[in-house]
Structure 1
Amino acid sequence: MGRNRTYFRTGDRLTDVPPRHRSAAGLITALAGAYERGWQPADIMHVTRRALGTRTAPTAAAALLFEARASQTEALAPQDWRMQLSRIADAEPDAARFAEGLPARCEPDDFATALDAVDWQIGVREWVDLTALWLEFPRLNRLCEPPSAWPDVRVQHHAPDAKATDHRALSRIRRLLAKAEATEFVEEAETLTAKAQDLMTRYAISAALLDSVDNNGVDPVSLAVRSHRIHLDNPYVREKVHLLTAIGEANRVRTVWFDRFAIATVVGSPVDLEQVDLLFTSLLVQATRAMHAAGADERGTSRTGAFRKAFLFGFAVRIGQRLKETDSRATAEAAVDANVRIDDLLPVLAMRSAAVDAEFDRLFPATRASVSRSVDADGWFAGQSAADRASVAAGERRITR
């Protein structure tokens, strides 16, 4: 049976406690309500920073980490939820130290007392702003069961993706891309990205698709469809969404954009989602580097916002085309390497795409396509040229596991 997540009683009890404690009670209650409406920890921190700036981030993180301790999140939450909280703790060390000092079992209405114990300075305005913001969060599509239902579904959260994810391969991919993003030398970055792309393509097809062929296409893990949210920051958010969508379309992943909160939701198989996330991060770094490297001509054209938006848009369109070409070529090569006929592999890909489409339509029955606006021609062609130079194809040296 699910637990009741309404933590604070109303009425006479709250009139007997100090205003600061009533404010803390209201904040935690607002947080629990947001979770029940489909929000997750990373979503809340992302929108809080966008709406209120960085001044409230430590208090917001402290509230999230306190609520996690009080509600036994470590024992009940799905893995992705716990990973989000871990990243929040890494980003807000003061809040992390506060959470580490909490007792193993604490009550939700002890939040203000716990803050007092560490002399946490919070203004009344900060309490009000955070509480009002979280109370106003609208209902989002649920990507997992809400916390009140965790005891009923906790066994199901971890098992489906266990076979689909090879953490050693993904760690190697991440290391290659991290080196590509850190180097100041374009040629070295392209070589590292090419190696990572080669490993990603072969890993995705062999792990997710060829395994499905071996199991006659009925392995439920092979057809598992997941979804998660990606948070984008200024500047040029819309153009970044175009890049994310283009990468997703080349990898059987669907994308929907929530403009008000700058949140994109991607839907696809676990393997494809991992690949899209990694490619998006790396190619966004490459696109940004190329955009700045374009410099400024004698008129200063490339420094304008219009030029840079058009550059990123043109880059996204051309990258999407190249990725689709790479996907077709890599699929054929992977089939040969695994001694599988391409005619046996293509139905598996089609079946996977159909499963993704069905889940996307279930989550988002009413969506509309984004309409492209007129763009700066110089920026568009400069972005297309940069995309032609970006590394997305396999390098000359093959990478094997």
Structure 2
Amino acid sequence: MTSSQPSTVDRAFQSALYDDTDPGLDTGASFLAADSGADAELVRRGREFVAAAWRRGWQPADVVRLVRRELDDPHVRLAAGLIRAQVPDDRPRGPRWQAQLDALPQEDGHARVGDRFSHATAVLELYRLLLRLPALEPLDEPGPRATAHRPQSRMLTRIRALLAKAEATGYPEEAEALSAKAQELMARHSVDEALLAAGAPAPDAPGACRIGVEPPYEQAKAVLLDAVATANHCRAVWNEPLAFSTVVGFEADLEAVELLHTSLLVQATHAMAKAEAAQRAGGRKRTKTFRQSFLAAYAHRVGDRLRAAARSAVAETEAPQALLPVLATRELAVTDRMQQMFPDTTTTRLRGVTDEAGWTEGTRAADQAQVHSHTQLP
């Protein structure tokens, strides 16, 4: 009795996936390039790698972000195609997952990358990465009541539009008016959600989402995200090696954090470019330390402003005494959820914050950022 021979894909995997050398990769790609009959099995095995990533806590946006950082655009397209191909085999997911699927690159992920050998090489490089994905903390999807309330996202659509206009306009007064209106809508949305949850028979539990915190100057960007999350009664935990922060909070607040953080980051980038131009015009060469110090100061100062604005927002609420116990209960639920997900966390000190001019300019830019008393509640 003879044993069955390993398939071409098995031989390729043995050479390329369990051997990190370039010769092993070339050998595996050669096996696949010579056997067109192995193509269907190769795609099927890729879907299995994707499903394994979901079981380890990864989500579509996480995979695409890592592939884009570690590999090249053709690998991103291949990954997007595999993720789409795996959907029929997957269990039902929530709206945040679906939004990530909708945001995948639109190119056909199974289009060939050059000749058969080049394509096989790219596929094996992608599979190497997927095979070695570490386990992540699983993220809960929004509960049934939160999903049922999704129509209120029309307000978030309006907020997005207001912030986009604030970022694009060249007139400070117009930007301030647009941002103030956006913050007012955020506060209303947050208060409404909190009071609705308090009166529900089965209140929602906090969930979580991941937000990319990409180089350069990722430490300062993580500090900015932490400040925005805290002001919006969420908590953020930064994963530096994988370039993202996990934000824990109730669904409406998670959406507000994503919106406000993105807007402030855009405003900070624009302000930093303007400050650098002024420094160069004055004959002073700006460096990486200037930019790092600028963003660190910006994040620090914006955090102060958000906390002050949060206190004002509570004071302006029509029934603050009735609202405070609701907010306290939600705050405790978020903290408990974060501690369950991340029982062991450490703090880190910002590096490279040594440029006085950068700190001064970053503080000035934060004072001019569009954060007003109508921001989210704490």
Q: TM-score, normalised by structure 2?
A: 0.82
8 Å Cα contact 1:181/1:282 also seen in 2: yes
Matched residue of 1:261: which SS?
coil
Q: Are 2:176 and 1:193 equivalent residues in the alignment?
A: no
Matched residue of 1:49: which SS?
helix
Where does structure 1 lack aligned partners over 5 or more consecutive residues?
1-10, 99-113, 146-155, 396-401
8 Å Cα contact 2:310/2:373 also seen in 1: no
Matched residue of 1:275: which SS?
helix
Amino acid at match of 2:348: S
CA distance in structure 2 between the partners assigned to 1:276 and 1:202 by the alignment: 15
Deviations 1:189-232 (A, max 9, x none): 23211211121112212x1233356x3xx7543x5311011113
CA distance in structure 2 between the partners assigned to 1:121 and 1:174 by the alignment: 45
Correspondence 1:1-400 to 2 at 5 A: 14=7, 18-68=37-87, 70-71=88-89, 76-88=92-104, 92-95=105-108, 123-144=119-140, 157-163=143-149, 166-205=152-191, 207-212=192-197, 215=199, 220-221=202-203, 224-294=205-275, 295-297=277-279, 298-301=282-285, 303-334=286-317, 336=318, 340=319, 342-373=320-351, 374-394=353-373
CA distance in structure 2 between the partners assigned to 1:120 and 1:80 by the alignment: 36
- Structure 1 residue ranges, 4+ long, deviating more than 4 angstroms after superposition: 119-122
Deviations 1:289-318 (A, max 9, x none): 1111112423434x3111111111111111
CA distance in structure 2 between the partners assigned to 1:369 and 1:183 by the alignment: 37
8 Å Cα contact 2:236/2:246 also seen in 1: yes
8 Å Cα contact 2:56/2:135 also seen in 1: yes
Matched residue of 2:208: which SS?
strand
CA distance in structure 1 between the partners assigned to 2:172 and 2:357 by the alignment: 22
8 Å Cα contact 2:140/2:207 also seen in 1: no
Matched residue of 2:270: which SS?
helix
Matched residue of 2:44: which SS?
helix
Which residue does 1:398 correspond to in 2? none
Q: Could you tell me how far 1:22 is from its partner in structure 2?
A: 4.3
Q: 1:349 to 1:72 in 2, by over 3 A?
A: closer
Deviations 1:160-213 (A, max 9, x none): 4434872221111111112122323333223211211121112212x1233356
CA distance in structure 2 between the partners assigned to 1:127 and 1:164 by the alignment: 38
CA distance in structure 2 between the partners assigned to 1:197 and 1:122 by the alignment: 50
Amino acid at match of 1:353: E
Q: Could you tell me how far 1:343 is from its partner in structure 2?
A: 2.5
8 Å Cα contact 1:230/1:265 also seen in 2: yes
8 Å Cα contact 1:38/1:140 also seen in 2: yes
CA distance in structure 2 between the partners assigned to 1:345 and 1:164 by the alignment: 23
8 Å Cα contact 2:225/2:261 also seen in 1: yes
CA distance in structure 2 between the partners assigned to 1:385 and 1:191 by the alignment: 19
8 Å Cα contact 1:79/1:157 also seen in 2: no
Amino acid at match of 1:125: T
Q: 1:184 to 1:331 in 2, by over 3 A?
A: same
CA distance in structure 2 between the partners assigned to 1:134 and 1:226 by the alignment: 25
Q: Could you tell me how far 1:381 is from its partner in structure 2?
A: 1.8
Q: 1:160 to 1:211 in 2, by over 3 A?
A: closer
**Aligned alpha-carbon RMSD (Å):** 2.6
Where does structure 2 lack aligned partners over 5 or more consecutive residues?
10-34
- Count of matched residue positions in the alignment of Structure 1 and Structure 2: 339
CA distance in structure 2 between the partners assigned to 1:211 and 1:128 by the alignment: 50
CA distance in structure 2 between the partners assigned to 1:362 and 1:183 by the alignment: 43
8 Å Cα contact 1:27/1:130 also seen in 2: no
